[in-house]
Amino acid sequence: FIVAVLLQKSSVLFTVGEPDKAYDLMNSTVLFGRNDLYYRALADINLAKLRALLGRSGASIDAIRSEFQSVLGSAIENARQATEFDETNYLNWVSLARVYESVVSLGITGAYDNAKRAYEEAMKYNPKSPSLHLYLSQLEILHGNRNAARAHISEALVLKNNYTDAIFLLSQMH
């Protein structure tokens, strides 16, 4: 019951734009027991903090860089904890992939390879999901590989021929 209340409060705080308070509450849920859902939620909050950090102005570059490295490290660790808790849950692998994908455009070494590897791991546990192929196509677009992106979109459309998100992404590429 306590964990359910903490999850709800954390979700509300996150929704109203209080990621630090949401993170602290969500982090306290881990004290009551480990669960991949908690770690995925922590990684999501970290990603929101990263986005906010990149949009921040007025702080010194060194301060932003230091906080960025810390938050990114926490995001990676939280997503990894989710995969370690249940390596067969594809959502845990998607969470890890999204963390790495979020920094691909910044040119961080290994981000693309790690994101791709995590998406491929997710596909092992949910091979019939067209959304995983769509995520991979978006990753390939970020990496500048449009041919691979088209191939993944095609695979998504084979799995679901009326997948509007895939059709829309393909039309945007053209």
Task: Report pLDDT digits (tens) over 148-158.
Answer: 999 999 999 99
Please name the helix (run of DSSP H) or strand (run of DSSP E) that holds residue 22, with its range, or none.
helix 19-29
Does position 61 have pLDDT exceeding 90, yes or no?
no
C-alpha distance from residue 145 to each of 43, 56, 80, 103 (Å): 27, 30, 26, 16
The least confident of 25-29, 67-71, 105-109, 144-148 is: 25-29
Q: CA torsion 130→132→137→139, rounded to 10°?
A: 170
- Better pLDDT: 16 or 173: 173
Q: Is the pLDDT of residue 104 over 90?
A: yes
Q: Which residues contact 23 (CB under 8 A, 6 or more apart)?
A: 10, 42, 45, 46, 49
Could you tell me which residues come within 8 angstroms of residue 47 by beta carbon, excluding any fewer than 6 positions away? 75, 98, 99, 102
Average pLDDT over residues 64-76: 92
pTM of the predicted protein model: 0.87
